[in-house]
Amino acid sequence: MTHKAQALLESELKDIEARMVVLKQSDPFLDPDHVTDNAAVDTDVREQEAHQRIEAEVEELQERVATIHKALERVATGTYGTCKRCNKTIPPKRLELIPESLYCVSCEEDLKR
């Protein structure tokens, strides 16, 4: 169970890293031609929007990376699969769906409030 979780988390990390590389490459602000092109205003706006969308997604992915690292720490300390808040066992189905879960469903919902 624990080793399986670790493998899952590590493969998730790899997926996220690959996704971030792709995202960053699609950022128009990182286009080497960007600085020199005197694009029309509407193009600038489009690039600005694309840039912001990419930044937001990268930020979200970084947060997930942080959570996955926390989950990996819990694998290492043997506390993976128990809720960080109430210490109850997190249902295996939930962990299958979201391997980086640190909380059980009800604690997660409480924390979101």
- Chain contacts with Zn ion (rule: CB under 5 A): 83, 85-86, 104, 107
Is the CB of residue 54 less than 8 Å from the CB of residue 26?
A: yes
* CA 20 – CA 58 distance, rounded (Å): 6
Contacts (Cβ under 8 Å, ≥6 apart) of 104: 83, 85, 86, 88, 89, 90, 91, 94
CB of 107 to Zn ion, least distance (A): 3
Cβ proximity to Zn ion: between 19 and 94 the closer is: 94
CB of 78 to Zn ion, least distance (A): 17
18 or 86: CB nearest Zn ion: 86
Minimum distance of Zn ion from residue 2's CB (angstroms): 19
Q: Which is nearer to Zn ion, 9 or 104 (CB)?
A: 104
